[in-house]
Amino acid sequence: MNVGIINYGVGNLGSVYRALENLDVEPLLITNPEDVENCDSLILPGVGNFKECKTILDNKGWTTQIKEAALIKKKPILGICLGMQLLADYGYEGVLDNNSPTPGLGLISGEVVQMKSFGCKERVPHMGWNSIKITRKSNILDEIVDDTDFYFVHSYFFSVKNESDIHAITDYSIIFPAIVGKDNIWGTQFHPEKSSKAGFKILNNFIKLSKC
């Protein structure tokens, strides 16, 4: 099975790559959007700014290929951190006019908004270990229990439209989705590749889902 890591110039690809190798998977770092066709499943990492990253995806031809793979060919896809946020309909990070958000990939309904604007009283960016609460049982959470800690780094969060798409939440003075999922499309706000055994378990569960 080929797990493609989308290399569009952002994200800690080395950590994701090594994590998959530790799970006895031979990942593919794909730098050409057409190579999506050669992958059985996809991982979309992301670090930085929503608008800038989505612009890169658009300008380099990734957006069309990712949407076709996920929606038409039903290939499993996992977005990590900003990669999860890019699954949304819209994002407000990096825009000067809040009335004109940046369109996302539109794979899971919702928008990406600033934590402080929703009343977060803790230090932002949210950086460090935080526990999750499971809200919806799913195979990607196999052997993961409530209050398991994962590693987060973010200032914005994915405000998901449909509650059924939220599988786990985190409390950081505001409640936000930690894991989202719809059909073959998944996202984690935390970095599983930096979250020790529990994070590796999430990645392994995604790999198992990809084999189904």
The set of catalytic residues is: 81, 191, 193
CA-wise closest residue to 170 among 188, 192, 185: 188
Is-contact 107 87, C-beta < 8 A?
yes
Residue 95 corresponds to which amino acid?
Answer: V
Quick one: tokens of 126? Answer: 């949210």
Distance of CA 16 to the CA centre of its chain: 12
Burial of residue 72, with CB atoms counted within 10 A of its CB: 0-12 exposed, 13-18 middle, 19 or more buried = exposed
Strand, coil or helix: what is 57?
helix
Strand-pairing partners, residue 185, are 77, 182
Is-contact 185 157, C-beta < 8 A?
no
